[in-house]
Amino acid sequence: MSVYETIYKRRTIRKFKQEVIPMEKLKRLVDAARVAPQGGNMQALKYVVINEGKLLEQVFKTITWAGYIRPAGDPKEGEKPTAYILILGDTEIKKEGFDIDAGAAVQNILLAAVEEGLGTAWLGAIDRLKIRGFLNIPDKFVLHTLVALGFPDEVPVIVDTDKCIKYYKDDKGVLHVPKRKLENILFFNNHIN
């Protein structure tokens, strides 16, 4: 699969097969994050793999899924993620400003996951306080975001849009993800509007 094919194939997945993800796959994803570009090459991000039954359920309860279509976009019983990778910022390495570094690192995870046959959802609407509590995360770490993972059990599709960017499910339950058209986001030289 080419890089472009991978980029277009990757969609946020919120419906997963209930198959265990081999630990080697999860390690390879974190290794892909490890070599992402990082400001000042500081590499202040750390990664927690969560794949143990009770913790999976606890993490699941902290997530707000698919805000535009709640609750239709929530994974149901038998569709939940089978692993998570929690992204932490280590404040002993740098105090703040983890967003751009996390963007680069997490995108590596999301794209590498496609090659591994996995689906992902990058999640920001999570209850960080609760997660810190039940995972016993020391204060020196900022809880950045979470990546949900599993073997995908849905195939969302991209649709071009001029206006509404809200994703929706059609009458067959297929998730449609509007993306603004290239002509609406690309400018050349000083022809900007």
Residues lying near ligand FMN in the complex (CB under 6 A): 11-12, 64-66, 121-125, 145, 156, 167, 177
**CB nearer ligand FMN, residue 173 or residue 189:** 173
Smallest separation, CB 14 to ligand FMN (Å): 6
CB count in 10 Å sphere of residue 132: 17
Q: Which residues are CB-contacts of 138 (< 8 A; sequence separation ≥ 6)? A: none
Smallest separation, CB 91 to ligand FMN (Å): 20
Q: Which residues are CB-contacts of 126 (< 8 A; sequence separation ≥ 6)? A: 62, 63, 64, 143, 145, 146
Q: Which residues are CB-contacts of 65 (< 8 A; sequence separation ≥ 6)? A: 14, 71, 73, 74, 75, 121, 123
**CB nearer ligand FMN, residue 21 or residue 106:** 106
Smallest separation, CB 141 to ligand FMN (Å): 18
Give dist(CA 35, CA 4) in Å, integer: 19
**CB nearer ligand FMN, residue 27 or residue 70:** 70
**CB nearer ligand FMN, residue 65 or residue 98:** 65
**CB nearer ligand FMN, residue 18 or residue 64:** 64
Smallest separation, CB 67 to ligand FMN (Å): 7
Phi–psi pair at 31, nearest 5 degrees: -65, -35
Smallest separation, CB 62 to ligand FMN (Å): 10
**CB nearer ligand FMN, residue 30 or residue 123:** 123
Structural contact between residues 17 and 151, judged by C-beta atoms closer than 8 angstroms: yes
